[in-house]
Amino acid sequence: MSPPTCHTAWEPPIVTKREWVEVGRCSISKEPAYQEHVTVAVAYWPDRTSPGTAVVLGDKPALSRPVTYQPEYGSAVKIKEWIEGLPR
């Protein structure tokens, strides 16, 4: 399914779920590595109808890093950039 055309001044996309999903483990420390997944409800304009939701992914965690014995997180979802990249 292709991303729906969305975003209005009166009703921006609504985040309905935000979670950090484990996508791997650091090779030395064995700490988890997470990627953010955000579920966003969208709406068509000017119809004001919703085709449903879309899952937007943040960046994956770094492939290498200094050993810290702490979990690694990818960068957060950039919803504004995702909206701007939707077909018009």
Q: For residue range 33-58, what is the model confidence (pLDDT) as tens digits?
A: 999 999 988 777 777 777 778 899 99
**CA dist 43 → 49, 66, 67, 72, 79 (Å):** 5, 43, 44, 34, 14
Q: Which of 41-50, 54-63, 68-77 has the lowest mean pLDDT?
A: 41-50
What is d(CA 28, CA 82) in angstroms, rounded to the nearest whole number?
Answer: 34
What is the pTM for the complete model shown?
A: 0.69
Q: How many CB atoms lie under 10 A from the CB of residue 65?
A: 14
Cβ-Cβ contacts under 8 Å for 49 (sequence gap 6 or more): 43
Distance CA 44, CA 5 (A): 6
